[in-house]
Structure 1
Amino acid sequence: MSTAAAKQNLLDLDREGLECFFADTLGEKRYRAHQVMKWIHHHYVTDFSEMTDLGKALRAKLEEHAEIIVPKVQFEKPSTDGTHKWLLGMDGGNAIETVFIPADGRGTLCVSSQVGCALNCQFCSTATQGFNRNLSTAEIIGQVWVAAKHLGNLPHQRRKLTNVVMMGMGEPLANFDNVVRAMSVMRDDLGFGLANKRVTLSTAGMVPMIDRLGEESDVSLAVSLHAPFDELRSELVPLNKKYPIAELMAACQRYVKRKPRASITFEYTMMKGVNDQPEHARALAKLMRQFGNAVQMKDAAKVNLIPFNPFPGTRFERSSDDEIHAFQKLLQVSGVLTTVRRTRGDDIDAACGQLKGQVMDRTRRQAEFRKQLAAQDISDAA
């Protein structure tokens, strides 16, 4: 007994993929893809019957061969500072978190790329959840779709969603093809129309994929550095054992040379007594000088200091405001453009490093973390 072919979720396709679908699968003109993209991403229409500039015959074809499936909102919560968090349901009991952060005339959406994360960075709450799988293109761009619709982000109005950062759950470069395809829709005029520089991908340092990103996409790059010494960084970011700082910095320089107008942001989470001492600042400034003199450096690289955001069971503490500002001053004196990220959404666990979601862990990370917490509770009680 034959089974019906699976329908194509159109959210999985960028403009080129959608054009090919219309031409090769439906036998239609490629420009029909443009009409449908506008309906989906400009007007948030998911019912083909409501796409009134398409003929009835084409709408019937779409009903037979295609679908538009967006992530389901399981839970949403606003913060007192205007930040908004969504918990979006995936398959198999999984869920991911997406966060919108309004500030100073712009609105930034923090988007997840995986269900959980396999990298096990020690200061990140997502790492304690373990890892299940990569998100599809539809699940990635679907986060933007859900947030933009909620915000009333219409093309004829002033856009409330102005920036997207791939800084949510997961390592984006470990899900390269789906992430790049989704970022293409974010930047497409038929999609969300964001400028290249307003879409930022953050990586823990997958060196070969940084090079590939430079060849295949044109977005801003952020690198989760967090330490200027290999021994310390390997403890905080285990991926450093495979791609140490020298290799990572060389890849970043190649990225900048390949894209003369590109600027790389080095993210540095400030943890009390761990990486916030003057010797760390001086070593970090030395790394930044690889991008040239003070004037050139400000164009090519900057440092964003991130106050550590605590989560249950963590052994780390946030550096004090005085320690953070002293660290910033040492970098600035060395000619390094340095900003301090304002903590937003921490009252709803939506700040940097706090995203968790619901992960049906395929590793033993959750179990190991719970075991550590239990041992810590016993030690504290003793």
Structure 2
Amino acid sequence: MPHSMLISPDSRFSLPQQVEAVCIKLVARRGLVAGLSAPSAAILLHFVLDAEGVLAQVPFWPWFAVLCLALFQQLLLDAWVLVHKPDARMLQRWPQLNAASLALVGLAWGSAAWWLQSASPLCSMMLYLVLAAVGALAMIVQAAFMLAVVSFELALLLPGMLHGLGSSERMAHYIGVASLLYFGLLWLYGWVVHRQLRHGVRASVQAVLLNEDLMAANVRAANALQALKREHQQLQQALQTIERMAHVDELTQLPNRRAAMAELKRLVQADAAAALVLLDVDHFKQVNDTYGHHAGDAVLRGLAERLLACLRQDDLLARFGGEEFVLILPATAPADACLLAQRLCDTLAAEPLPVEGASLRVTASFGVTAHRGGEALHGWLARADEAMYQSKHAGRNRVTLLA
């Protein structure tokens, strides 16, 4: 089982504690598999004893029952670990409980050196081969916890060592010394595996934590990017609003003086053919004085709507200031501009404007002029202004053309 499948870092734990938790889960999973397969080795001893005809001379079944009880309590401990989430209490107590439980399992296995000894050399050889294999398997399974390895191996090999050293037979002495050497070998190899396993688990946990940190950083970066995008959109909207406010008249929603001047400068710089119409509402002050400024505002809005309805798409109507409007007509001859201005003048005078329940007759004085090649802007504007004032002096509600 790869370590990564057992790793589930918990922010409550420090790195050493998380390594401990992963090792506990790993050992419990391996121990469960090893414990379930262990009785098959005992059954192998049964077949050998029976084949050699010495089964009736040894207490195999009582020993097997004791072994199964020891294995069962170890399996319960492993299963309990696998179904529970590690906590601080488990991290502190499980290594000692596991070592004690394994000592009982090792003692049950090792007692076979007493109870299953027989005069058959084959049986003795198979017995010690099985015990050696069990010892090696336990060392591999429990390598993450050296206390468990030492507890199991000592309990497993101690009965054989004591039996061999206490016997009068030379072969038994050799077996006792071999058991002692085998214990030392398992301890040494177990320590090497322990160091490698712990290092690997620690590296895996650190990799998972680093990956989680990177994922969290990516999420934070994505959130920050989204926030920046929202702020950028809001800023763009604010800039568009500011741009609009800077170039649009708030009352009439027409382009304001700034926008009109920008267009006039562009036409002058390009030395383009264009006509300019300047108009001023007649007697506008009387409207404000008689009906109030709200009525005056309504007059300006209504006038703008009527004028716009008569214009071409490329024509630019702007509020130039107060009750004064400017109409910029690109690529328009003076005569055509004069005809358009006259139509606008007639349209305004033809029908009163409805203003706050009243109908007001609103007229305007128009001044028309065309741009001359190479002429400066102020000269063009001054001529249009002069034409408009000529209309006012001539009685208002009329159009004057200055070529």
**Bucket of the pairwise TM-score, normalised by the shorter protein:** under 0.3
TM-score with structure 2 setting the length: 0.21
Q: Which has the larger radius of gyration?
A: 2
Q: Determine which structure has greater relative contact order: mean sequence separation of CA pairs < 8 Å that are 6+ residues apart, divided by chain length.
A: 1
The two structures have a TM-score, normalised by structure 1, of: 0.22
